[in-house]
Homo-oligomer: A and B are copies of this chain.
């Protein structure tokens, strides 16, 4: 039987420890091709490159997989992989392991999750993996066994087209992780607070900063699961329609 073809990408860049660990795990499951950004692309959301050009280079890193480095966004990487690198449709697209959480509202800012969502748009099964530890030297080995099991499970239990998984792993030792919980995206947001500074030429400039505000204590919310020591898995789709509000809007939006 042919091994499953797995496309790996991320938003922290192709040399980040998180994607190297994910590649190693996927090598134990299937034939792996990595197409990932050549520089950090955190917070790039679903951005695509339309006003400038893209480069794509094969590079040679340890392991049996092939690695391609692209100067675009995570979504660009998925698109160019499907059009220019892979000779058949991948059986799975995985993104990550992200250095830092992509739970709750972060799903819309995250390049890691946007790559997975783009795979969903293409009708491919996809999973974004994130570890709730922003450190470059984060310990991804604790998550290895869970990531392998979740991946095998997703390969063996096909999801409906257009649904992808957002997997967040708490920063805990393996034996402290209580299991997995299927969740919904928590209602949370970043309260922005720009750090205003003066440059050497006397002009103001700003750094985006802020704090995370979780407004959701629901048992079924991903933030709750993570806080309680569980891995959270949110099924994610790309239909942004507020279907439940269509009828009401039809009544009020009369022009």
On A, residues with C-beta under 8 Å from B are 40, 42-51, 53-56, 73, 75-76, 79-80, 82-84, 105, 107-109, 114, 117, 121-122, 146, 149-150, 153-154, 157, 159-160, 163, 165, 179-180, 182-185, 187, 189, 192-194, 196-197, 203-208, 220, 233-243, 245-246, 249-250, 252-255
Contact = CB atoms under 8 A, between A and B. Distances in A.
Contacts of A233: 249, 253
B246 A208 contact: no
Nearest to A151: B255
Contact of A45 (B45, B203, B252): B45
Q: DSSP class of A's interface residues: helix, strand, loop or mixed?
A: mixed
Q: How many copies does the complex hold?
A: 2
A109 B245 contact: no
A85 to B, nearest CB: 10
A234 B241 contact: yes
A174 to B, nearest CB: 13
Contact of A194 (B84, B117, B160, B252): B84
B245 A189 contact: no
Given A84-B194, A236-B240, A255-B180, A204 B56 contact: yes
Of A208, A240, A245, the most chain B CB neighbours within 10 A belong to A240
A184 B239 CA distance: 9
A246 B179 CA distance: 17
